[in-house]
């Protein structure tokens, strides 16, 4: 009699791949998650496929960074290397999504290049995003996922991809991405620290705003987004529901690192039944309108659903 049933096909697994590692490195604030080597990344994808999860969002963790974030579009950058290896190994058996931003690659930790005054230069940044998108598509990404929340980023990326012959590469826009306190463990995972104690409130959305999320999603679709995302998930189900009811493209939600870490921490203390809470939360995200969900629980939940 259930109206909403979660399946492995609803899940996308975010995975981290890092340069300079000889073995996968556990992420302390994300129990069960790792910074992978390219080899261990391939093995991790194998494990997910065995449980019915075939879509992956890839985040690269470079050894060196600079003020432009040039490693993000370097053909030999860690994300592009990993994408090529994944495509060679798994071909059409997987959907490869690549997070498209500069923050993992910039020395200052912001999602774009900075002006002399220390603010993010929107127009200079989106030109670089187009370069990143082309590099990711060349390496084998089926979907590029701009997460920097720059104005006009989707249009710049669509034009760049089309001009380079990648008109079939899809864009998943982080459209309603809020300046949230739930991202802490992710920052550890990608080794990002914003310089001088800064934050991203100048370009991410105010968590107090609801209508802005729908407005941003509609703007991204008009610019050429094939799919849109709400991030985080649980505290923004109202935004997710609004967008799902008003757009005609697939809608996703990102069950983020802080949401995952809180369930894991409470479960370790015996305060909650963590697997059941995770399943309940992810099902509620689908119930609110998500066509697919990015979650660090992907493999664990998919394995449990097989039983």
Q: Which pair of structure tokens corresponds to residue 168?
A: 């079939």
Tell me, yes or no, if 191 is annotated catalytic: no
- The one catalytic residue in 87, 191, 231, 264 is 231
User: What is the domain range of residue 122?
Assistant: 9-306
The CATH number given to whatever domain includes residue 238 is: 3.20.20.70
Tell me, yes or no, if 286 is annotated catalytic: no
**For residue 211, is it within any domain?**
yes
**For residue 4, is it within any domain?**
no
Element (H, E) at 159: helix 153-163
Which pairing describes strands 95-100 and 34-36: parallel, antiparallel, or unpaired? unpaired
**For residue 161, is it within any domain?**
yes
**For residue 107, is it within any domain?**
yes
pLDDT for the residue 97: 98
Residue 247 CA to residue 226 CA, distance in Å, equals 11
Low-confidence ranges of the chain (pLDDT < 70): 192, 195-201
**For residue 1, is it within any domain?**
no
Phi, psi values for residue 249, rounded to 5°: -120, 160
Residue 141 CA to residue 124 CA, distance in Å, equals 23
Beta-carbon contacts of residue 16 (< 8 Å; ≥ 6 apart):
27, 33, 34, 35, 36, 59, 60, 61, 189, 190
Place of tokens 């999860």: 53
Our count of domains for the chain comes to 1
pLDDT digits 0-9 by tens, 199-238: 666 778 899 999 999 999 999 999 999 999 999 999 999 9
- The one catalytic residue in 65, 87, 177, 191 is 177
Residue 78 CA to residue 104 CA, distance in Å, equals 11
**For residue 2, is it within any domain?**
no
**For residue 3, is it within any domain?**
no
pLDDT for the residue 116: 86
pLDDT for the residue 141: 98
Question: Cα–Cα distances in Å, from 257 out to 63, 249, 275?
Answer: 22, 25, 16
pTM of the model: 0.94
pLDDT for the residue 198: 60
pLDDT digits 0-9 by tens, 167-197: 999 999 999 999 999 998 988 888 767 766 5
pLDDT for the residue 307: 78
pLDDT for the residue 246: 98
pLDDT for the residue 123: 93
pLDDT for the residue 196: 61
Q: How many residues does the chain have?
A: 307
């Amino acid at each position: 009699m259930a109206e909403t049933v979660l399946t492995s096909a609803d899940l996308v697994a975010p995975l981290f791949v890092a340069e300079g590692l000889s073995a996968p490195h556990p992420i302390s604030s994300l129990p069960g998650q790792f910074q992978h080597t390219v080899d261990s990344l391939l093995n991790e994808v194998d494990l997910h496929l065995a449980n019915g999860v075939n879509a992956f969002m890839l985040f690269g963790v470079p050894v060196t960074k600079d003020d432009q974030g040039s490693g993000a579009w370097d053909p030999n950058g860690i994300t592009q290397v990993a994408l090529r290896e994944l495509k060679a190994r798994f071909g059409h058996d997987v959907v490869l999504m690549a997070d498209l931003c500069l923050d993992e690659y910039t020395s200052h930790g912001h999602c774009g290049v900075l002006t002399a005054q220390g603010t993010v230069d929107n127009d200079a940044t989106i030109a670089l995003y187009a370069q990143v998108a082309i590099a990711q598509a060349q390496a084998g990404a089926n979907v590029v996922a701009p997460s920097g929340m720059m104005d006009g980023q989707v249009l710049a990326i669509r034009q760049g991809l089309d001009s380079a012959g990648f008109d079939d590469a899809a864009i998943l826009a982080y459209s309603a991405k809020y300046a949230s306190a739930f991202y802490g463990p992710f920052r550890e995972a990608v080794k990002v620290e914003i310089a001088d104690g800064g934050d991203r409130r100048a370009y991410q959305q105010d968590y107090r705003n609801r209508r802005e999320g729908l407005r941003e999603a509609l703007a991204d679709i008009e610019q050429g987004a094939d799919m849109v995302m709400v991030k985080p998930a649980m505290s923004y189900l109202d935004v997710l529901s609004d967008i799902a009811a008003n757009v005609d493209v697939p809608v996703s939600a990102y069950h983020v690192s802080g949401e995952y870490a809180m369930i894991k921490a409470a479960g370790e203390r015996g305060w909650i039944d963590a697997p059941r809470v995770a399943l309940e939360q992810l099902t509620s995200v689908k119930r609110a309108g998500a066509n697919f969900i990015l979650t660090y629980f992907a493999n664990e939940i998919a394995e449990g659903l097989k039983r």
